[in-house]
């Protein structure tokens, strides 16, 4: 494998180039890294916008300074201002207290504002003023503060539509769109599918301490033609499931039962949720989605019930469900299940001492059979 195809840009974070689309992105990122302008990164959900921002930061003269990422959708409108710009207030003893925000904390580094379209219009106006003047005032304060960080914004929405609907300030959009980087969806990177699958498998197998199964020709071909509406994020989950369960038949069924990249590339929305074409109407794919959702809920409820009935003794729950211990651990992680009471927690702690040994036995048993 050519080492230039995989570039480490952070802890457990890599930028992979193995297709014309990703090589173009790498070239554009390198050019933008040499400038110090504000930047807008657009692309479907899960396509790697934050990774592209980290790449630009790592290639720039700011690489020795912090990189801070802020997810605007994770903050309420009230918190966004104090989180980004900081605040000042007089405490009970009459002293002025100052709390620097993320922009100040970033110093001469790079700050990424993910899903900036989630900002209320008032905050978008403050952001525009910051971009224009490079100065701001902390919430509750009066003194101007100089902003030294490079600001990168990212969004997965349809920008023109968001501007037309009044969700994005037109002045802010005009300012940001002067320098824009579009991250390609995974379906346009089919040529590097073997490289991506191998990368995720190597990284996840090291993380979980499991031997990595190989990808057959049939599985590689199915993955190459699959549309991947969830992009790289979905691909990583797919590889994790294949690593833990090792069921190639189920993996092939998953890929072949979903919309392929050759069906209709134009039907995906701005978030990358594609819909398969159906000669008898548009409801077939929706019905499949409902069925899959119902199956997932049924499975989750069954696992949760078995865990509660066994007081979160996962070995006992796995036996009751007739699945391997390793598969149960994966399902617990997939469905974000956790104990609800202290008895369950004590049972879990008692069991944890033997988990590693039991998982090793399960792995050896699976390999033998």
**DSSP string covering 18-48:** -SHHHHHHHHHHHHHHTS---EEEE--TTS-
| CA 186 – CA 249 distance, rounded (Å) | 23
| CA 336 – CA 349 distance, rounded (Å) | 18
What's the pLDDT score for residue 152?
97
- The closest of 121, 170, 126 to 151, measured between CA atoms, is 126
Cβ(153)–Cβ(53) under 8 Å? no
What's the pLDDT score for residue 277?
38
Pairing of strands 150-155, 144-146: unpaired
| CA 341 – CA 327 distance, rounded (Å) | 24
Q: Best-predicted range by mean pLDDT among 6-10, 93-97, 224-228, 307-311?
A: 224-228
What's the pLDDT score for residue 202?
93
| CA 2 – CA 305 distance, rounded (Å) | 49
Both structure tokens of 339: 């104990």
pLDDT tens column, 250-264 = 999 989 876 555 433
239: three-class secondary structure by DSSP: helix
Position 369 pLDDT exceeds 80? no
User: Where residue 164 falls among pLDDT bands split at 50, 70, 90?
Assistant: very high
Lowest mean per-residue pLDDT among 51-60, 127-136, 293-302: 293-302
10: three-class secondary structure by DSSP: strand
Position 274 pLDDT exceeds 70? no
- The closest of 340, 313, 317 to 327, measured between CA atoms, is 317
Q: At 171, phi and psi to the nearest 5? A: -65, -40
Cβ(168)–Cβ(178) under 8 Å? no
Q: Best-predicted range by mean pLDDT among 60-69, 157-166, 293-302?
A: 60-69
User: Where residue 307 falls among pLDDT bands split at 50, 70, 90?
Assistant: confident
Which residues make Cβ contacts (< 8 Å) with residue 33, sequence separation at least 6? 55, 56, 57, 59, 60
CATH 1.10.8.60 fits 191-263+282-368, yes or no: yes
Instruction: Give, in order, the Cα–Cα distances in Å from 249 to each of 204, 212, 231, 318, 325.
Output: 20, 16, 22, 22, 20
Question: Tokens 């630009």 sit at which residue?
Answer: 56
Question: Tokens 């590889």 sit at which residue?
Answer: 239
Both structure tokens of 193: 């599918």
- How confident is the model over 152-157, as a mean pLDDT? 95
What's the pLDDT score for residue 154?
96
Position 346 pLDDT exceeds 70? no
Both structure tokens of 61: 């003269």
Catalogue the long-range contacts made by 304-311 (C-beta closer than 8 Å, 24 or more residues apart). 304/335, 304/337, 307/332, 307/337, 307/344, 308/340, 308/344, 311/343, 311/344, 311/347
Position 356 pLDDT exceeds 80? no
Give the chain's mean pLDDT. 81
What's the pLDDT score for residue 260?
53
pLDDT tens column, 20-58 = 999 999 999 999 999 888 899 999 999 999 999 999 999
- Looking at the structure, give the CATH architecture of the domain made up of residues 3-75+107-137+146-182: 3-Layer(aba) Sandwich (3.40)
| CA 218 – CA 220 distance, rounded (Å) | 6
Domain boundaries, the chain: 3-75+107-137+146-182, 191-263+282-368
């Amino acid at each position: 494998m050519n080492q230039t195809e995989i570039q480490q840009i952070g802890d457990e974070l890599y930028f992979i180039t193995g297709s014309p689309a990703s090589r173009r992105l790498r070239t554009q990122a390198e050019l933008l890294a040499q400038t110090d302008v504000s930047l807008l990164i657009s692309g479907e959900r899960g396509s790697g916008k934050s990774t592209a921002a980290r790449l630009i930061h790592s290639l720039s003269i700011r690489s020795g300074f912090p990189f801070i990422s802020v997810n605007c959708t994770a903050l309420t409108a009230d918190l966004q201002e104090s989180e980004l710009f900081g605040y000042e207030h007089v405490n009970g003893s009459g002293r002025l207290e100052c709390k620097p925000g993320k922009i100040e904390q970033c110093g001469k580094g790079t700050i990424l504002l993910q899903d900036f379209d989630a900002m209320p219009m008032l905050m978008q106006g403050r952001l525009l003023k910051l971009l224009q003047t490079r100065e701001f005032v902390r919430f509750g304060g009066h003194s101007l503060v100089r902003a030294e960080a490079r600001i990168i914004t990212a969004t997965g929405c349809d920008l023109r539509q968001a501007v037309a609907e009044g969700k994005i300030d037109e002045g802010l959009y005009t300012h940001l769109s002067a320098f824009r980087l579009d991250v390609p969806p995974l379906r346009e990177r089919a040529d590097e599918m073997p490289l991506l699958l191998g990368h995720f498998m190597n990284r996840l197998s090291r993380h979980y301490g499991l031997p990595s199964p190989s990808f057959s020709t049939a599985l590689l071909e199915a993955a190459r033609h699959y549309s991947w509406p969830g992009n790289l994020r979905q691909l990583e989950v797919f590889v994790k499931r294949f690593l833990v369960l090792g069921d190639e038949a189920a993996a092939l069924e998953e890929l072949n039962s979903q919309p392929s990249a050759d069906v209709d590339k134009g039907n995906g929305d701005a978030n990358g949720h594609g819909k398969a074409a159906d000669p008898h109407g548009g409801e077939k794919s929706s019905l499949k989605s409902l069925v899959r959702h119902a199956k997932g809920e049924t499975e989750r409820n069954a696992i949760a019930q078995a865990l509660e009935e066994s007081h979160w003794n996962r070995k006992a729950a796995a036996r009751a469900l007739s699945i391997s211990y390793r598969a149960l651990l994966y399902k617990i992680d997939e469905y974000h299940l956790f104990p609800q009471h202290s008895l369950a927690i004590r049972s879990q702690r008692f069991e944890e001492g033997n988990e590693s040994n039991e998982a090793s036995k399960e792995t050896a048993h699976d390999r033998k059979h």
